């Protein structure tokens, strides 16, 4: 049932309600890349259908909006809260308090706008030959980045969502998620897929280390930020490879 719990947690896809423990949700992190593949498959289907009737730019815009709808804006909210905290707070505790506040600040709003603009630009930049594979890979590796962040860095806030994931998922979930991510990357892009995953790992490790130095660890919000930033980085790398 781990996969279904991951789908329930990460997406707005309607599934029958079920009482689950945080331990089950934590074990579901192993399937995060698979959930990303599911989201990517829906995006590819939409791209295929809409590409027959609309211009490339319009289709790209609809895909980005659909991307947000499918995730319920969960990770964008984490990005906004993270940026609000980093820019608005003067110390660790103040930053964490701002991140916990559900209200959207100016810095967070600008960050969300910039990220969506970049995502739109890179989706539109993908050639027809690479677009489908890019739309599959970006959500998968974005969710792998969260699993790596959960395992590699300490929790910044005891009792928060981040600490619960930290407590209930570990090396086993990371290994399974990494195997899934590696299979997807190699299947779609062959050796280029390995390069993309390696480059993403380096970027996520650096970002996670920076956040940990600033906040004392990661939170549920920063996991969402890692996912969003990773998706854009993957799209950027795929777009770059497509020009070579």
Mean pLDDT estimate for the chain: 91
pTM equals 0.94
Residue ranges of domains in the chain: 2-242
What whole-number distance in Å separates Cα of residue 106 and Cα of residue 83?
A: 9
Residue by residue, DSSP assigns 9-37 as HH-----------HHHHHHGGGGHHHHHH
Instruction: Tell me which long-range contacts 58-65 makes (C-beta under 8 A, separation of at least 24).
Output: 60/120, 60/123, 60/124, 61/120, 63/123, 63/135, 64/116, 64/119, 64/120, 64/123
How high is the pLDDT of residue 88?
82
How high is the pLDDT of residue 79?
96
Taking only the tens place, the pLDDT of each residue in 123-169 is 999 988 889 999 999 999 999 999 999 999 999 887 777 777 888 88
What whole-number distance in Å separates Cα of residue 227 and Cα of residue 70?
A: 14
Q: Are residues 125 and 56 in contact, defined by beta-carbon separation less than 8 angstroms? A: no
The two three-digit tokens of residue 147, written as one number: 């699993």
Taking only the tens place, the pLDDT of each residue in 163-181 is 778 888 889 999 999 999 9
Taking only the tens place, the pLDDT of each residue in 97-109 is 888 887 888 899 9
């Amino acid at each position: 049932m781990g996969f279904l719990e991951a789908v329930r947690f990460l997406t707005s896809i309607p599934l029958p309600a079920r009482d689950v423990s945080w331990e089950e949700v934590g074990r579901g992190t192993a399937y995060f890349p698979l959930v990303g593949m599911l989201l990517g498959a829906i995006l590819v289907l939409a791209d295929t259908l809409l590409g027959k009737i609309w211009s490339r730019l319009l289709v790209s815009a609809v895909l980005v909006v659909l991307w947000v709808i499918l995730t319920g804006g969960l990770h964008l909210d984490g990005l906004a809260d993270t940026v609000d905290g980093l820019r608005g707070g003067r110390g660790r505790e103040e930053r964490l308090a701002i991140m916990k506040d559900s209200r959207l600040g100016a810095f967070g709003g600008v960050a969300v706008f910039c990220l969506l603009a970049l995502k739109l630009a890179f989706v539109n930049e993908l050639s027809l030959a690479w677009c489908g594979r890019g739309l599959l890979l970006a959500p998968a590796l974005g969710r792998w980045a969260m699993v790596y962040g959960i395992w590699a860095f300490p929790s910044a806030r005891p009792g928060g969502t981040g600490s619960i994931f930290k407590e209930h998922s570990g090396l086993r979930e990371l290994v399974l998620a990494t195997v899934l991510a590696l299979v997807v990357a190699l299947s779609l892009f062959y050796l280029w897929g390995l390069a993309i995953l390696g480059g993403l790992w380096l970027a996520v490790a650096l970002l996670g280390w920076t956040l940990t130095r600033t906040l004392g660890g990661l939170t549920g919000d920063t996991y969402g930020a890692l996912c969003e930033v990773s998706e854009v980085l993957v799209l950027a790398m795929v777009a770059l490879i497509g020009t070579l």
